[in-house]
Amino acid sequence: MKKQIFLMIAVLASVTAMGQSRDEFSIYGGGGLSTLNYKLSHGDAKLGFGGEAGLGYTYFFTESFGLGIGAEAAFYNSKIKLNDVLFSYNAIDRFGESFESRYKLNNFEEKQNAIFVNIPLMLQYQTGAKHKFYAAAGAKLGIPVSVKYETTGNADILSSGYYAYENVEYTTQEFLGFGELSSTKSKGDVDLKLACIVSVEAGAKWMLSEKLYLYTGVYFDYGVNNLAKDNDENFIVRNDMLSRDFSTNSVLSSRHSSYNSLNNTSETSKTLAEKIRPMAVGLKVRLSFGMGGFGNKSNMSNAVTFTPKPNKVAAAPKDNSSADAKKAEDARRAEEARRAEETRKAEEAKKAAVAKEAAYQAAVSEVEKTIDGYDLGSEYLDDSRRTYIDKKVELMKQYPNMTITIVGNCCDIDTDAINMREGELRAEAVKEYMVSKGISKDRLKIETKGKTNPIVPNTSEANRKKNRRVEFIVNN
């Protein structure tokens, strides 16, 4: 890997030494959001900040277009947090009995930082005279040279064991390794695949001198392939089941099974982090040397205007002062008309944007209207409730990116557990109806708050009916 990187740098240096008039060589740096982007089966992934620095070479085959290559070091950071997460693994206890080793994890935090060497291939377009606008697009090959993880060691964990043949879960038997455990700080390396990255960049190119330019712009990189390698590492690591300490492998390289504590069922083992991709967006500054365009003759009036050299002997000028004055006046009026038209279009666009936002906020207000008045223990949707929900369905079809959370609520009658379940059934009934009307279930999330969130005191049946309700929360 290191030999490949040194070879690329040597090639760039050789190309620099042979520079011609259409060549441009640059050094650059950038920073902003720069992270390993992935989806977690459990927990929350937090994006991080980083940057990049590198060397580049661009060959301009016309005044406007050039092809660039280079080598850059890119720095990515990310973090995950896990709270109230359940894991399970098949295991054998000290007496040779098979059981399901279960863990409930809280306050877990892991940071990852990665260094990639990226090899870009970019097509650049530029336009303008002394100062230019530029845009570039292409791809990068990302070579992971260092990917490390580290945990805080402050996590809380409860260990238990489920014995299927007894249908019993043991939670406090220390001689079997169950009970409260203490986390230790974990760190190490992660092995990732090569990355294929789509990259775009745009901004301004300022001429500092005839052969010196400063680029300022924004860039966006996004990996299109999954960097995760197949592995069978368990997330929770215990060298000795009788020890009260535990450590972890990285979420980027671990598998796990999760289980439902209500009905003692477990999922199939799967990776914690799904579809790992590098992603970066930020500001970029580049200092370039060379023409950065087509041709590099010293007798040009500007380095990037490409205007022909005037004749040394000019003909005697004619007296065209009146015609020139008329042309100047016509040009001035045309410029005023152009600016007035641009102002008009900008005002129209602004008004349209305001109207669009107002319409969306009105839709949000309508979607978030609550349905109440349920009978005790009922989640039935009568015709009036269905008509009410139909309005929300039509608005969600108008705004296909809108997602909502459906929250079921109850009054204070019955136990906490029964009310939590009843709230869930009310939310689920609404979700199923909206799905039957054409709304994707991926856009609908359900929650239950049981009797914990009354809007009025539960002092009368009328108030209790108001508390037996379903709420709608627009997420975006």
Identify the CATH number of the domain in which residue 441 sits.
Answer: 3.30.1330.60
For residue 269, pLDDT over 90 is answered with no
Same domain, 268 and 397: no
Residue 231 in domain = yes
- At 205-239, the pLDDT tens digits run 998 987 888 999 999 999 999 888 877 677 788 76
Instruction: List the one residue out of 465, 460, 472, 401 whose CA is nearest residue 434.
Output: 472
Q: Please give the sequence-ordered ranges of beta strands (E in DSSP) within 41-166, or none if there are none.
A: 44-47, 49-60, 65-82, 85-92, 98-106, 108-128, 132-151, 156-163
Same domain, 64 and 175: yes
Same domain, 254 and 374: no
Average pLDDT over residues 352-368: 93
Q: Virtual CA dihedral for 271, 155, 114, 134, nearest 10 degrees?
A: 90
Indicate the residue among 266, 290, 314 that finishes a domain: 290
Same domain, 116 and 224: yes
Residue 22 in domain = yes
- At 29-39, the pLDDT tens digits run 999 999 998 87
Residue 6 in domain = yes
Residue 329 in domain = no
pLDDT for the residue numbered 45: 81
The residues near 200 (Cβ < 8 Å, ≥ 6 apart) are 135, 136, 137, 219, 220
Handedness of CA 16, 17, 21, 27 (dihedral sign): positive
Contact 187, 154 (CB under 8 A): no
Residue 264 φ/ψ, nearest 5 degrees: 55, 50
Same domain, 414 and 270: no
Indicate the residue among 271, 290, 309 that finishes a domain: 290
Q: How many CB atoms lie within 10 A of CB 106?
A: 13
Domain that holds residue 446: 367-474
Indicate the residue among 290, 307, 330 that finishes a domain: 290
Residue 133 in domain = yes
Same domain, 280 and 161: yes
Same domain, 264 and 135: yes
Q: What is the CATH number of the domain that holds 157?
A: 2.40.160.20
Strand partners, 60: 66
Residue 465 in domain = yes
**Of 43 and 219, more confident:** 219
Residue 360 in domain = no
pLDDT for the residue numbered 157: 87
User: What's the domain count of the chain?
Assistant: 2
Contact 155, 108 (CB under 8 A): yes
Contact 446, 405 (CB under 8 A): yes
pLDDT band (50, 70, 90) for residue 105: confident
- Report how far residue 400's alpha carbon sits from residue 327's, in angstroms, rounded to the nearest whole number: 53
Residue 14 in domain = yes
- At 382-427, the pLDDT tens digits run 999 999 999 999 999 999 999 999 999 999 999 999 999 999 999 9
- At 59-82, the pLDDT tens digits run 988 989 999 999 999 999 999 888
- At 432-460, the pLDDT tens digits run 999 999 999 999 999 999 999 999 999 99
Q: Please give the sequence-ordered ranges of beta strands (E in DSSP) within 152-194, or none if there are none.
A: 156-163, 168-170, 179-183, 187-189
Same domain, 131 and 224: yes
